[in-house]
Structure formats: structure tokens, C-alpha cells
Structure 1
Amino acid sequence: MAFNRRAYFEDAENTPSNVDIKAPIGEIIAQRYSRRGFLKGMGYGGLGVAAIGAMNPLSAAIAAEGEASDRFGFDEIAHGVDTTHHVAAGHDADILIRWGDPLFAGAPAFNPHNQSADAQEQQFGYNNDYVGFVPLEGRFDHGLLVVNHEYTNEELMFPGLPGPQDEHDFTGITREMVEIEKAAHGLSVVEVKREGGKWHYVRDSRYNRRITPRSTAMTLSGPVAGHQRVRTSADAEGRRVIGTLNNCAGGTTPWGTILTCEENFHGYFLGDAEFHPEKDKLARYGVPGMSYAWGRFDSRFDIGQEPNEPNRFGWVVEIDPLDPTSTPIKRTALGRFKHEGAASVLTEDGRLAVYMGDDQRFDYVYKFVSRDVVDRADPAANRELLDHGTLYVARFDEDGTVTWLPLVHGEGPLTAENGFASQADVLIDTRLAADALGATPMDRPEDIEANPETGEVYVMLTNNDKRTGEQVDAVNPRGDNVFGHVLEIVTEGRHTATQNRWEVLVKCGDPARGEVGAMWNPATSENGWFASPDNCAVDARGRLWVTTDQGGNWPKSGTADGVWAMETQGERRGTGKMFFRVPVGAEMCGPCFTPDDTTLFVAVQHPAADGAEDFDGHQGRSSFETPATRWPDFEDGMPPRPSVVAITRQGGGVIG
């Protein structure tokens, strides 16, 4: 079977490892639409309650009102797929930094035909995902970007490979290629400035830094640090790890550090799990995934040689971007799973809550609440704050309540008799502990963001076509859920509470197709609906923006991924509006606003990778020599390059 790096990770996220899916909460008689009561889908997908496109009188009045209550003042763009990007009129979308751009004075210029690992460690990495902005000297036109580099697409990075690799074959992959891949992973910290209305990066800034799984030492902290299950031949004390892997989304703490999240770490390990001492535990995480050849050249990634190495990945890592000499820290108190994001919000009593999703079908939603209060006047006082607190997993009930179940050793089934000898075991095996507590299996929980203005928490549930009709429940209301939905947790500002409420904000997909079962405000236009919500951001005005990741499914929707504005309040609640669109084969990642909302940074990941064989005008899958697009350079011989884009309003002012 033809093998594509992006397709591999997409399949891994789509294939559940949670084999003990609980029975449905109960037969769904009436689905929850909105606490405001007016939100009706235009297509009901077999519910038999309304004809497609029907509106009640109130819905008709809302649609007729049109833009009167629109919080987003832009003319939306149209659905479509082509080789370049598009942004709403009145805005500019400029390439800020690309894969291979040099970060340091002595770094070589990018030459895709003559790459080296040493050069790549001095250049901007590959497949930019999460973007965080840290102001310098309190300025919103000058700061640091912290950017995750999630994974690499060998078939688009390297010339001369024999087409997309056969699965687990690795034909043509050399040691030097593996070292380049390692150097292209991790993170980049880069200083950026806005001058003359345009953003640029500062090549030789003292803040610039590359963090990679090839060379960057990190420490383990919290309950797992020093535990025998994280000790290796190179680290007999179990406290020092080289690098971070598959960094997807993230978050920013109130004291200015960045939380970067390790997601599909399983794919980097080779070996035979049959005789591994933790065979069943590895299986729950998909280890060994065997999608990279790294284990052929580096014993760390061969579970036969280093059986504990997988336990050292799957964590949230805290990084201080203002100190390029600082050591990143893996905060084990936040649990080990396939982290998509880590959204921080101050609680009602001044502590910190961190909301997180585990990005795999039928996995869970989590939150961590710190033991101690955040010291906003002294950032250094928060250095150990994320090492102490309580990790919870969510159970969503049919009556619209969400109960947060504590993952604490000795409570309930989390005992030595059930395989959890300590809190370290609970955290290393977070998924198994959540299974034991009866958490609710979800439709691929990806990014989660809290709205500090309203207290509401938005959960992006990307899709789940493995959910059958018998497994439908109130919070996951569709079987064969190809297009995903957005969930809203209503906290009323009580982030420390062990019980909140939940509602489905929208069910994604084209509402004009009744069989899809989409649910949108009828004011949503033919371009305002989207599919497969992935990342999101809440701007300083409390407005929600959603980015999408359809993977190879974009031909089913007929449109590329992008950024949509999303109404969450008032009469237009549940209305989408299309703002930005990526080139063919790309995923839309990392939406990040400057604090004054005058710039939106977005990350365009793996252009030309997804679904290229279905793109008109392109034959077969993309490769280095024949990509579906050469965005953003559009130069012969130059491959497509993942890039960060800076979106600004022409003439200045607030985005959207």
C-alpha cells in the first residue's frame, strides 16, 4: 500500500486503541441543540423531524436580519481548492517564515538539493503547527514566535526517493536523512517585528533557538521523574531526555512560558512488542508505530534495545522562550497521552486550569488544576506550579452535565491491585487509568480553548467514522461522523468545579446535504460551514476562530482547509464565516493573535500532501519532483515548504 507520512498519522489518529468502548449512555430521544433554543440544522440526516432547509419563524427572522448582529466585519471567501492561499478582502496574508529559512548569522541558506542535519538545526523546521506569540517589552508589534514542528514528509522533503514509501519499508532512507528529520522536528523560537505595516523575522536574534530531538536535553519533573519505568541505559536516573517528538498544539501560561504537546510519539518506535514487559500498555498507545526508520540508526527508538524509551514521550513540555539557555521541562503531572493542546486559564480562586485533548478516536478530554495559586507578579515563583495538582478526565452525561473524574492513585479503581502501584503509574498509563474510571470516549478531541470573557470552553472534535449507530450517545450524536463537531463546556467561571454543563455548538459538514446531519444556525452561508475542526483560538474580544484538518477527506467536502470565524453568542450563535483558505494538500494550524488582535499568525502545514491524487490537474501522489503545488515559492526545483503566514488588515486595525 502506498505510504504517505501524513496519511500514516491521520490513520493512527483515526484508528482507536480504546477497544472497550462503553455502551451508549442511553437511547437518544431528542438531541440537545442549544440552551437558547433557536439553533436548528438545515439538514437532519434521518432524524425525521424536519425537511431539509426548513426554518421555524424565529430562524427565518434571524436569517433575514443578516449582518445586523454579525461580530465579524469581513466579507467571507468561497470554498474551493487550488494551489495557493486566499484571505478575506481587506486583509493581507504574507509569508513570514518557511521551512529551511536560516535563523542564525552563520546558518547556510536553504538548499533542498544539498541538505544536512547540521544545517537544518540552524534553520526553521518542518511542518509548523502550534504558534505562540510572546510580546517583548510589552509591545504587540515586536515579540517572539514559538512554533512547533510536528513531523516530516520524506516524499516531499528529499529528492530522489522512489515515490511514497511502502509502509514500514524505508527503501532509500539513509542515516543522514534520519538525522535531518530529527533536526527538522521539535520547535523554533524566533524574534519577529512589524515595521512599515509588515512583519519580518530577525535572523540573528539572541532569542532565536532550535529545540530538536537530535540534540536538546530536557528534564522530567513531577511524579514520574526518576521512576524506574523511565530509566534507560543512557539515563540511569530517569530524569534527562533528549528532545521532544511530534509536537502538535500547545498553549501559553500566564507567566509567559510555552506549553508544547507531544502527540503521535508512537510512530517513531520500531521493534517487536510481543515479548516486551509492557506489551498491553504499549498497545493502548500504539507502540511501536514503525512509521520512521529512526530505530534502525538510533537504539533509543528500538523498543527491543530501550524498552522504557516510549514512556519518556507523550508529555506536555514547558519552555521559557525568553531564556535561550533554559532547559525545557516535561511536566508529567499533566499526564501521558497523545496531547493535542494545553489551554491555560486562571481559575476563580487564582489557580491554573489546563484543558487538554487526547487526539485519537474514542479517547478522552482532560483538565489539570494546579494545587497552588499563580503568582502573576513574579513569574519565577511559578516554576514548579505544574508539578503539583490534580489531573481529571471527563465523563459527559446525557442530561448535559460533565463530571470531572480525578486521576489520583488510591482512589476508586486506581490501586495496586489493578496495576497502578503509584501516582507515577497512573500518569504513565493515563489512558488506562481513564479507561478504568469510565471516561466518555470522544470523536477525536483535538484542540481545546477557554474563553476568558465568558468562561466557556470549546472542544474541537475532529471526526470519527469508526463510531457505529449503536455507539452514538448524547455528546457524540452521529455515527460515521466524517465531519466532526464543536462542543462547548459551560463552566460559568468555575474551572475548579468537578461538574459543569456541556452543549453541542455545531455539527459540522454541509447543511444542504440532509444525510450529513449537520447543525448550523440558518444564517450560515453556503461558504460558512466547515468540516473537521482541529485547532481554535479565542481573540481578545472573546470571539472564536476555528481551523480545520480534513486530511485526505477534503474531496468529500469539496473544499480545502482554512480558518472560519465562529459566532458563539446571541442570535447568530452557531454561524460560521470563512476567512482564510490553504493551498491544496495543506492543513490549517496554529491560529494565534497578537494581544491587540491586529495580527493573526497561522501555520500552513504539509502543502501538497493530502489528497493530491484527487486534485484536478495533478496525476498521482505528490513527491519532491512532482508536487501538487510548489507553494509558497512557486519556483522550479523548489519543493512545497510549510510556512507561517502573518495576516494583517490593510491600513491597520483589528482582524475581521
Structure 2
Amino acid sequence: MNRRQIINAAQTSNKAEAFEAADDFPANPNLHRTIGDVIAARYDRREVLTGLLGTSATAALFGAPALAAPRPANAAVSGSQSRYVFDELAWGIDETHHVAAGYDTDILLRWGDPITADAPEFDVMNQSAEAQLQQFGYNNDYVGFLPLNAEGTRGLLCVNHEYTNEEVMFPGLGRQDKAEFAGMTRELAEIEMAAHGGSVVEITRGTDGKWMVVQDGAMNRRISPLNTVMAIGGPAAGHPRMQTGADPTGREVIGTLNNCAGGMTPWGTWLMAEENFHGYFWTDQLDAEGEPDLSAQPEAAQMARYNVPAMWYAWGRYHDRFDITKDPNEVNRFGWVVEVDPLDPLSTPVKHTALGRFAHEGAETTVSPDGRLVIYMGDDSRFEYLYKYVSEGVVSQDRAANSRLLSDGTLYAARFDPDGSLRWLPLVHGYGPLTAENGFASQADVLINARLAADALGATPMDRPEDVSPRGDGTAYVMLTNNSKRKPGQTDAANPRPESDFGHIIEIMEDGGDHAATRGRWSILVQCGNPEIAAVGAQWNPETSENGWFGSPDNCAIDAEGRLWVATDQGRKWDKTGKSDGLYGLETEGSLRGHSKLFFRCPVGAELCGPYFTPDTETLFLAVQHPGTDGTRSLKGFERESTFEDPATRWPDFDPAMPPRPSVVVVTKKGGGRIAT
């Protein structure tokens, strides 16, 4: 069978699971020195996996966590007091969400909710692209909040809409990528397009402490790949490889795709990261094995390195720009970071090519001691790289000048060495092998083919690097979700486990506490999974209870107290933990380093995204994505694939006429006050 047949034959119940199965075919051929090799060189692999490291070695590798079974769920934390002050939630999985005692949860925004003054009410049985362009989009991922008053009681919520699940979105349709898109039409495809992208929504907090949408907010807007015009900025703007028949200048593109995690800049703009853009590109040209035939493509090698075309959607049937045979350069115009000014609904978003082209997960910002902008980014695929961008100029009070910082700076890829040192390798034309002789004729080529440039420099292939949260003291936390395809011979110091279904978290400590530094140190904060099973090789602080350990860290945030919060995305493999995805408070310092507590958990089949705190830490925004989809065959009592008519849950409405709806949840403390204090 060819790759597409293997994916379709896999036990996947929906498009999200198919995406994950597609990632089982790594595009990176540069696996001679992966992060697993580095960890193996630093510590004996067998000792790590079987839990036999001595106390000193364990402390050196993981900080304070010891090799011990978790506490019983009702046991009290001994020794140091946790900085996360709440009664831990019990683990489990069912049809609804749960939060720690003493907290309220409110549904703020659901797929289809009207967000503009003229928007029609949501009618799930009579959807249209025109209506969807005025309604909250599908699969809410990143959430950012921009205060509009000094009190922080009014602000703009900026939300990414990553992708769509047609099997629970449209009545009577079913999953299309497994049926050669037999039921797909132009109308349905354009509804999907309208549901992608992002939403800017004004919200306000009432005197009762509850947040509500301001539907006639002057700054409310939808951004989509259907109709939003965007500028292309930075070194690759105008390059011949960015030019198309519709845009011979190479400086303007319609829309943004697969917007996963993101970030907010210090001057209040919103960064939308384009992740798995390759899935939206199409071709009718197939080889004898049914695989896309790239033989006539002049950039066949570059397309293969980015897994283009993956053909997850049928948009290329109706829009030529998504068909690589008809418009081969269009794919080069996706895979970037997009800057949006939420304060100006008429502003043109900008794709900043200086930040490189890859499957961006996150674009979290910080400022170096000398005032330069620093952005950390993961390339969320197996065996891909961790990146950061450092501006040449410094952040000022001039918003227009600040945005130019995103076009004039240096992009770096990370190399993790076995001795615990970290090097940031500059993706700069002329540096080392990045020359015309090696296929990089200009800085534009380096950035358009950032993966190939990082290959050439010898960056360390990672276990799906996702969100990265920097802290002001020069530390940053890297979420490595999992990598079940890493073989025993491919392990290294920073990715220590083969066939890891559970992932781990790396702590970076930049030299001099400066996020702009080109060198630093690294250590593993936790190795995820069940610590009671020696073969899993999990590492947690011994005070962590059976509720507190988790698998597949994905999104993260650092609150105003400097505390790390971790959201999980196990996909269909949640059955390996028996736990739904959720939000955890994870200690990073002191004797409780590596101690985790469960605060919130999702309904079955959902992934938790966000999280984002208001500046006063009194409100937490969480995005619950694709409820009722992932792994529903494993839900006892349901044990089948979800459909529009027969979903595993109808969260959050629990209306028999409504399918599950991705939604943003607001968490506040009963009676008011800061969260987890």
C-alpha cells in the first residue's frame, strides 16, 4: 500500500487522527544525530528507561525529580509547599469538562456564535460561508488577550482556528479524506475555508465577574483563507519563488492556514503561527503507487521535505491556488508567522518571512536585557527542530517601528549537545554550508527552505517541538509532545526515549539570563507518562500524585507569578494513559521541581489549547478543541467513531440537535481573586 492507503487503513476515527497518522512518515532525512542520540550519549539509555539511575545522575538529568512511584491521589504534599494553591482535580474521562474545586467555568465563545453586529444566528443545518465569516470559527487553538482599559476588565480576545472536522461539522457527510472526498462540494469547502483562520472579539467583564462578548465591538473581525488579503514582508518578499499568476509581485497572498499556537507581541499585536499547511495542497497527478507525482515539479525535493502535497482537504478541486500542478509557488507562501493588529480592523496582516517557513507551533515573545525582541518557535513534526528569532533593533514605543523588528533579525535553529550545552545556529546565507553551491542562492532561499537550512547546519531533530514559554530570567520551557517513530538507535540526550508516546519537557537556560544569547544550557524537567510502569521511563517529582502525571505536553503558559502551566494533546492515544487532556500546574524550582497537579480536564475526544491568563491572573482562558472526536473507540460504553448524528459527546450545549462545538472556556475563582493562590 502507498502512504495515503496506509494512513486511511489505520485505526483513525477522524481527520485529526489522520493528521497524526500522516506524521508517522517523517520528512527529515537528517537523523544521524537526533535529540535521542544526545541524551543517550549523556546518560546510559538502559538506566534511563528502567529507572535505575543513581541519585546524582537523576538530579543532573532531571533536576530534583527522584525515581519513585506517584503518591496516592488523596495523599498530602510533604516538605515544601506547592506554589499552585488548589485542591487537585481527579483524573478521568467522560462527556464533559471538570475544574478544581472552588472555581467557575463559563463557555464564552462556541463555533458558530455571532461575533459581528450583522452576523446571523448559528444554524447548524443551514451553514454558509457568508454566515461563517461573521461567526466564531472552528477548532479554537491559541488564545491571546489584549486589555483595552487599565483595569483589564475590557479587552480583545485573539483566537486561532486551526482546522475543521467535517465528520462532526456537517450533517450527513462523514469523514471525507477516507472517502476520496466523495461528498465534498465547493460550497462545503468554502465553509471550511471560512471556518479556518482567526477571530478578534471584544469581551468585557461585568460587575458580577462574568465575561461576555461585545457583539457590536468596532474591532471584531474574522480572518480566513477564503478572503483575507495579507502582505508578505521580510527577505523573501518579492522573490521569484513567492510569485504566482495571481500575484506576480510575490508580495500579497490571500489568507492563512492551520493556525495552531501563537503569541502576543510586547506592543499588542497578535502572531498567528501557520502549522501543517502542507495538508491543504492538492494534485491530480499521481504515480503508479497512488502517491503524488512530483516528477514534473522543479522544486520536487523541497516539496518532499515539507510533505507537500498531503491532500487532507479538497480545496484544490475548486481553487487552483491549492493545486500544486496549476500553481506550484503558492505553497511557498504558507508556513510563516502572521502578524495582525487587533486594534485596527482595517489593517492588513503581514506574513513575516524573516521568521522562517516550517510547521510553526507557537510564536512566544520576550525582550532581551538590551531591548531586542526574541521569539521562540517549534516545528511541530517528528524529528523537526526548535527555532528562535532575535531582532536587530530594540523594542520601543513606536508600534510601526516595532513591527519592522520582525523583518530585520536572525533566525536560529537549536543544537543540543550531550554535555548539556546548547548552541543556536544562525540560518544566515553564506554561513557555513548555506551557500549557492548547496542550493541556497540567497537569504530568501534559506528562509523559504528553513528545514533544509537547519538540516545543513546540523540542528538537533526533536520529538515534535511544540509550544515554548520564555520566562524573564532567561529560562524557557520546550514542550516535546511525543515521537512513537523514534527507534532505539535514534535516541540522544535531549530526546532520550525510543517509541515515546508520552513526550517530555526541556528547560533551557540561556547564557547570562539573556534570551538573545547564542549559547546556553539545557536539562530535562520531566519525562511524561505513568511513573509506575518502569518501561515507560517517566520521571516526576516523587510527590506527584496519580492525578498529577500526564502525557503529551503541547501548549503552555507562564503566569504573572512565574509559574508554568502545561496543556496536553494526546490525540487518539489517550487510551494509553486513560486520562482526558487537561491543564496542569508544573513546578520548576526547589525541592518540588517536577511536581505536577491537575487543574482542568476536557471532555472526551478534545484537546486543550490556550492557556492564557489576564495580567491580574484572575481570569484564565482555555480553548477546548475538537470535542467528541479523538479516540472515541476507546471510550467505554461508546466504542465507535463519532459522527455529526452520533457523537461521543454533545459538549458544551448537550442539545440533541447540536453536534459538539469547539469552545473557549473562562475560568475564574469563586468569589474572585487570583487563580491558584
- TM-score of the superposed pair, with normalisation by structure 2: 0.92
> Which deviations, in whole Å up to 9, do the C-alpha atoms of 1:464-523 show, x marking residues without a partner?
011111111111111111100000001242212111000000000011111110000001
Q: What is aligned with 2:188?
A: 177
Are the equivalent residues in 2 in contact too, given 1:33–1:505 (CA < 8 A)? no
Correspondence 1:278-427 to 2 at 5 A: 278-375=299-396, 377-427=397-447
Aligned residue for 1:197, secondary structure, equals coil
Evaluate the alpha carbon distance shift between residue 109 and residue 433 of structure 1 in structure 2; reply closer, same or farther with a 3 A threshold: same
- Do structure 1's residue 646 and structure 2's residue 656 form an aligned pair? no
Evaluate the alpha carbon distance shift between residue 166 and residue 381 of structure 1 in structure 2; reply closer, same or farther with a 3 A threshold: closer
**Runs of 4+ in structure 1 over 6 Å off:** none
1:142 to 154, 165, 169: 154
Aligned residue for 2:160, secondary structure, equals strand
Q: What is aligned with 2:53?
A: none
Are the equivalent residues in 1 in contact too, given 2:602–2:608 (CA < 8 A)? yes
Q: What is aligned with 1:45?
A: none
Alpha-carbon shift at residue 65 of structure 1 (Å): 5.8
Evaluate the alpha carbon distance shift between residue 447 and residue 33 of structure 1 in structure 2; reply closer, same or farther with a 3 A threshold: farther
Aligned residue for 1:371, secondary structure, equals strand
Correspondence 1:418-457 to 2 at 5 A: 418-452=438-472, 454-457=473-476
What is the one-letter code of the residue matched to 1:132? G
Alpha-carbon shift at residue 9 of structure 1 (Å): 1.9
1:122 to 111, 131, 134: 134
Aligned residue for 1:381, secondary structure, equals helix
Distance 2:610 2:584 in 1: 13
1:165 to 172, 176, 181: 176
Evaluate the alpha carbon distance shift between residue 425 and residue 38 of structure 1 in structure 2; reply closer, same or farther with a 3 A threshold: closer
Alpha-carbon shift at residue 34 of structure 1 (Å): 4.1
What is the one-letter code of the residue matched to 2:481? T
Deviates more, 1:101-110 or 1:150-159: 101-110
Are the equivalent residues in 1 in contact too, given 2:15–2:177 (CA < 8 A)? no
- Do structure 1's residue 610 and structure 2's residue 630 form an aligned pair? yes
Q: What is aligned with 2:64?
A: 39
What is the one-letter code of the residue matched to 2:105? A
Distance 1:549 1:107 in 2: 32
> Which deviations, in whole Å up to 9, do the C-alpha atoms of 1:34-61 show, x marking residues without a partner?
459863444xxxxxxxxx6499xxxxxx
Distance 1:28 1:632 in 2: 47
> Which deviations, in whole Å up to 9, do the C-alpha atoms of 1:539-581 show, x marking residues without a partner?
0010000000000000010000000000001111100000000
1:9 to 19, 35, 41: 19
Alpha-carbon shift at residue 166 of structure 1 (Å): 4.8
- Do structure 1's residue 534 and structure 2's residue 559 form an aligned pair? no
Alpha-carbon shift at residue 139 of structure 1 (Å): 2.9
Number of matched residues? 638
Are the equivalent residues in 1 in contact too, given 2:372–2:390 (CA < 8 A)? yes
Evaluate the alpha carbon distance shift between residue 3 and residue 620 of structure 1 in structure 2; reply closer, same or farther with a 3 A threshold: closer
Q: What is aligned with 2:576?
A: 556
- Do structure 1's residue 242 and structure 2's residue 261 form an aligned pair? no
1:93 to 83, 98, 105: 105
Q: What is aligned with 2:214?
A: 202
Distance 2:661 2:203 in 1: 19
Alpha-carbon shift at residue 78 of structure 1 (Å): 1.0
Alpha-carbon shift at residue 6 of structure 1 (Å): 0.6
Distance 2:66 2:661 in 1: 39
What is the one-letter code of the residue matched to 2:562? G
> Which deviations, in whole Å up to 9, do the C-alpha atoms of 1:378-404 show, x marking residues without a partner?
323213111001110000000000100
Aligned residue for 1:541, secondary structure, equals coil
What is the one-letter code of the residue matched to 1:535? N
- Gaps (5+ residues) in structure 2? 1-8, 49-56, 286-293
- State the identity as a percent: 60
Alpha-carbon shift at residue 19 of structure 1 (Å): 1.9
Aligned residue for 1:608, secondary structure, equals coil
> Which deviations, in whole Å up to 9, do the C-alpha atoms of 1:43-86 show, x marking residues without a partner?
xxxxxxxxx6499xxxxxxx986274210110011111100000
Are the equivalent residues in 1 in contact too, given 2:143–2:621 (CA < 8 A)? yes
Correspondence 1:587-606 to 2 at 5 A: 587-606=607-626
- Gaps (5+ residues) in structure 1? 43-51, 56-62
Q: What is aligned with 2:281?
A: 269
Evaluate the alpha carbon distance shift between residue 647 and residue 37 of structure 1 in structure 2; reply closer, same or farther with a 3 A threshold: closer
Q: CA RMSD in A?
A: 1.7
> Which deviations, in whole Å up to 9, do the C-alpha atoms of 1:420-478 show, x marking residues without a partner?
000000000000000000000000000001012x3210000000011111111111111
Q: What is aligned with 1:46?
A: none
Q: What is aligned with 1:58?
A: none
Are the equivalent residues in 2 in contact too, given 1:12–1:360 (CA < 8 A)? no
> Which deviations, in whole Å up to 9, do the C-alpha atoms of 1:402-431 show, x marking residues without a partner?
100000001100000000000000000000
Are the equivalent residues in 1 in contact too, given 2:63–2:523 (CA < 8 A)? no
Distance 2:422 2:24 in 1: 24
> Which deviations, in whole Å up to 9, do the C-alpha atoms of 1:236-262 show, x marking residues without a partner?
000000000000000111111011100
Aligned residue for 1:69, secondary structure, equals coil
Are the equivalent residues in 1 in contact too, given 2:13–2:642 (CA < 8 A)? no
Are the equivalent residues in 2 in contact too, given 1:468–1:479 (CA < 8 A)? yes
